[in-house]
Chain A
Amino acid sequence: MIETTTNVSLRDAMYALSLSKKVPDAELVDDFARRYPQYAGALTDFAIELAVDGSMHDDEDEFELPGEPERISPVVSRVMSIFENRLFEVREGRAAKGARASSIDVENRLATLDRERFRKLATRVGGNTVFLSKLRDRQIDPVTIPDRYCSHVADEMGDPLDLVMAHLYAPPQKPVARQFYKADRKPAAIGRQTFEEAVRGSGLSNEQQIWLLAFRD
């Protein structure tokens, strides 16, 4: 038996094995073990799981999650925040190999504004402080916020769009201005509003609502 080592990563070998056959057999696993002797044990263990999994689930399985089709879960929102953060780093050339943005600690730039600047920004983005607070506290489902409005907010804040998006997709925060209240029960996560719900429910004038909703595609 001639064995040669290659510089292929274990993950690459796993992908290749998975793509070769829906359910592997001994011949295929031995072939991979010969080609990648340094990973023979790991690939065989992987093939065992693949054999069971490949038999239980179809490749093309598409599953529905309960709930509204265009609403995303908090998990997907956090993943989007990681994606936006990392994409920003990659674009800025700050992406060093191995220095992954594994956390979703996104600076909340809106929370750092003093009261006067916060009020002025609220006016410039076409809303009021209630509406801007919802953006600050990530109370609006980011998927429902129109792209053009996100760009508008980024321009008014003077921040890159990627960072604004990473902020909006980060986990919702408890409202900053209501830290001192007596609660009867443990705080629970509140569902995010859609953009339209936020516009309608922030005490905005009719003109402001029309102007904001016109950002929708």
Chain B
Amino acid sequence: MASPLRKKKEDTGELYTRPPHIERKIDAALGQDRTTLRARAWITAPGHPDFLPRECLLHLIRDAIRRDDQPLARALVPPLVKRCEANLHKTVPDGRMRNAEAVREQILSAFGLMLAEDGMEGHEDELDYFECSFGRAFRALRIDYVRREISDRAELVDLPEAFDEEGEPAFDDEELGRLSSAARMNGGQEAQVDLPRVLKAVSKLPHEEKRAIVLCRILGYRDESPDPNERTAATICNVKGRTIRYRLSRADKRLKRLKEGL
């Protein structure tokens, strides 16, 4: 049986837990020999009966390192890192930033160090988050590195000319709001189909316009409020409400230009 996680939730004090299906997969894998696990680790098709989810693979690696089973750890780390590399090729593609390749390697190196330093001072139980939901924890790590890189370079990405020619979907601000709400609620099929393309456009807006759009239309903040204690897009961006509305208007025009260009 897999040892319980030790990371506690800050607000409730409860321990983080793995999803039940991950617990079951770990329990089944813990009894298997090294050759079997090595073969299973390279399977990347989620539908395959021997597929090991990343949470499960990570647990086996941590367990092997704690038990000083170096051959097993050594056999399982490369396929996990390779799966992370594949994820980064999709989520931090070469066109996203100037040095995407270097950023991908930074993120993977950081993850490799986390594996080696698991349990050390400053890294206690950090990988517990990854055993709960590898995808979400890895996303947090990735976003943190990408944000820092963009911040360091003060890189503002404008809409590329080629974007108009890619056949992006038509949408307006109401549609964006509807799709964004659907995303939070795991909405209907139509929204699921359109949303990635809409958000791709949003992610390429100039920095301040993107902040305004995401704060108001996706996170659901008001542009401003008479209540001075209320957090709004204006207070977060430290500007006046009319500046937020101007940025929203500019973003909307920019997005609508895409629609007319189709």
Binding site for B on A (CB under 8 A): 1, 6, 8, 11-19, 21-27, 29-30, 33, 35, 41, 44-65, 69-70, 72-73, 75-76, 78-80, 82-84, 86-87, 90, 95, 97-98, 100-102, 143, 147, 161-162, 165, 217
Contacts and interface: CB of A to CB of B under 8 A. Distances in A.
A35 B13 CA distance: 14
Contacts of B140: 11, 14-15, 17-19, 46, 50
B199 A52 contact: yes
A22 B136 contact: yes
Given A56-B195, A87-B65, 18 more contacts: A18-B139, A23-B180, A24-B219, A25-B220, A27-B220, A41-B236, A44-B236, A47-B219, A48-B219, A51-B214, A53-B139, A55-B196, A56-B203, A62-B44, A64-B44, A70-B42, A86-B112, A98-B122
A30 B231 contact: yes
Give the 7 A-B CB pairs with smallest separation, nearest first.
A59-B135, A86-B116, A18-B140, A83-B112, A63-B86, A147-B71, A15-B129
A29 B70 CA distance: 41
Contact of A11 (B16, B144, B202, B231): B144
Given A48-B211, A62-B83, A78-B105, A14 B219 contact: no
16 contacts: A1-B229, A11-B144, A16-B9, A23-B180, A46-B143, A46-B144, A48-B219, A52-B199, A59-B135, A69-B42, A72-B78, A75-B104, A75-B105, A79-B105, A87-B116, A90-B120
A65 B91 contact: no
Interface residues of B, number: 76
Contact of B117 (A25, A44, A90): A90
B200 interface: yes
A25 B104 CA distance: 28
B184 interface: yes
Chain B interface SS verdict (over half): helix
A64 B90 contact: no
Which of B81, B83, B89, B120 has the largest count of A CB atoms less than 10 A from its CB? B81
B208 to A, nearest CB: 11
B56 interface: no
Contacts of A73: 82, 85
Given A30-B231, A48-B219, A147-B74, A19 B120 contact: no
Contacts of B196: 55-56
Interface of B: 9-11, 16, 34-35, 38, 42, 44-46, 53, 65, 70-71, 74-75, 77-79, 81-83, 85-87, 89-91, 104-105, 108-109, 111-113, 115-117, 120-122, 126, 129, 132-133, 135-137, 139-140, 143-144, 146-147, 180, 183-184, 186, 195-196, 199-200, 202-203, 210-211, 214-215, 218-221, 229, 231, 236
